[in-house]
Amino acid sequence: MIGSEQEDPVSFDELGDDLYTQVDIVIDKGQEQIRIDKFLANRLSSNISRSRIQSAADAGSIIVNGKPVKSNYKIRPLDNISLLIPKPVEAYDLSPENIPLEILYEDDELLVINKQPGLVCHPGIGNHRGTLINALLYHFEQLPQGKEKFRPGMVHRLDKDTSGIMVVAKTEFALAHLSKQFFDRTTQRKYYALVWGNVTDDAGTVTGNIGRHSRERMQFEVFPDGSFGRHAVTHYKVVERFNYVTLVECKLETGRTHQIRVHMKYIGHTLFNDARYGGDKILKGTIYSKYKQFIDNCFNMLPRQALHAASLGFKHPRTGEDFYFEKELPSNFQDLLTKWRKYWNTIALTNLDDE
């Protein structure tokens, strides 16, 4: 079975944020001139290897006095260093598990998958097994390069119950390059979401810092005054309207935890059947028996938040080639939209007959 049997597990996916961190260092006046990779390996946490630092330099992620440097650069007193580095994986049980994966593309540097809903990306509290990391470890063991013992490099995440496209690094080199692309916001990501309510504008942008909810530890919220949280921007446009719900396309300018879910709720359009944020209740439409039964049937048809990562674009870390992947909505998501079309067409025809 995928995931934990615990009813409400806390996963790294739910509670984490970026998978990489930026470190800024000013070199002391008395510092001897040594290679920057050696200096950083000694200065930073023991969890960050020298090879990972060297890969970061190859990706252009070590900046000294405003310019990228190679790993053999010798530091000087008062140098201003900025380093972007992938965070190490939490030390949970990383046992390989034979969990099926839909692989859309794979080469020596990376693989692209269509993640199924219900699959947590990272081990965490309540999810020590049955995660995407466990599945990737099993897959890597079946490959010749699996013997190098490189752990899967998670560049970005999808929430447990969100389906869609993800890229995973297979080497330190790819991990550094892909992480920089996500950090620099040069990737292209498109999602489809079914949200409650009739979205007024055909297109719009939601801007607002996202941070941990002040009362609900499993939720995030928007802090519009910027007093807390991290900068987040979501662009959306309407794809199809069903009066009580709307299908929207969302493009991420940033990548915060629960970003689409939080931003859409903030503008009054909670994702359909998003139990974490109250979308598993009737938020639009009158609560009468036939309509309630219809909604219950819809919830049963897609028993999760209606969110799918439909496309992902990035540059291949080794060749620089532009890669772009698309994946259609899962069949039950498509069936849900068909059900809403039929329902709304019936309502519309009834209203015409009454005129």
pLDDT in tens, the chain (355 residues): 233 333 333 333 333 345 777 889 999 998 899 999 999 988 886 667 788 888 889 888 899 999 999 999 999 999 999 988 776 655 455 789 999 999 999 999 999 999 999 999 877 666 678 899 999 989 988 765 544 455 678 889 999 999 999 999 998 889 999 999 998 899 999 999 999 999 999 999 999 999 998 888 889 999 988 889 999 999 999 999 999 999 999 999 998 989 999 999 999 999 999 999 999 999 999 877 899 999 999 999 999 999 999 999 999 999 999 999 999 999 999 999 999 999 998 876 665 444 3
Tell me how far apart the alpha carbons of residues 115 and 130 are, in angstroms, rounded to a whole number.
13
Angle between helices 172-183 and 50-58 (to 10 degrees): 50
CB atoms within 10 A of CB 328: 11
Tell me how far apart the alpha carbons of residues 26 and 80 are, in angstroms, rounded to a whole number.
5
Q: 90-183, what's its fold?
A: Pseudouridine synthase (3.30.2350)
Nearest residue to 76 via CA among 19, 34, 14: 34
pLDDT of residue 181: 93
pLDDT of residue 126: 63
pLDDT of residue 308: 98
pLDDT of residue 351: 55
pLDDT of residue 347: 77
pLDDT of residue 188: 94
| Count of residues making up the chain | 355
**Alpha-carbon separation of residue 114 from 128, 162, 168 (angstroms):** 22, 10, 11
Handedness of CA 301, 281, 126, 95 (dihedral sign): positive
Helices (H) and strands (E) in the chain, counts: 8, 16
pLDDT of residue 4: 30
- Would you say domain 20-86 falls under CATH 1.10.540.10? no
Tell me how far apart the alpha carbons of residues 259 and 86 are, in angstroms, rounded to a whole number.
20
Nearest residue to 18 via CA among 92, 90, 87: 87
Tokens of 133: 């990391």
Burial of 165 (0-12, 13-18, 19+ CB in 10 A): buried
Start and end residues for every CATH 3.10.290.10 domain found in the chain: 20-86
Residue 223's DSSP bridge partners are 209
pLDDT of residue 22: 81
Q: 188-354, what's its fold?
A: Pseudouridine synthase (3.30.2350)
Give the H or E element holding residue 62: strand 62-64
The reply to whether 159 belongs to the active site is yes
Which of 13, 18, 79, 159 is labelled catalytic?
A: 159
pTM, rounded to two decimals:
0.84
Nearest residue to 153 via CA among 126, 129, 182: 182
Q: Which amino acid is at 53?
A: I
The per-residue b/e assignment along 56-91, b for 16 or more CB within 10 angstroms, e otherwise, is bbbbbbbbbeeeebebebebeeebebebbbbbebee
Give the H or E element holding residue 256: none
- Coil, strand or helix: which one is 151? coil
Start and end residues for every CATH 3.30.2350.10 domain found in the chain: 90-183, 188-354
Tell me how far apart the alpha carbons of residues 154 and 137 are, in angstroms, rounded to a whole number.
12
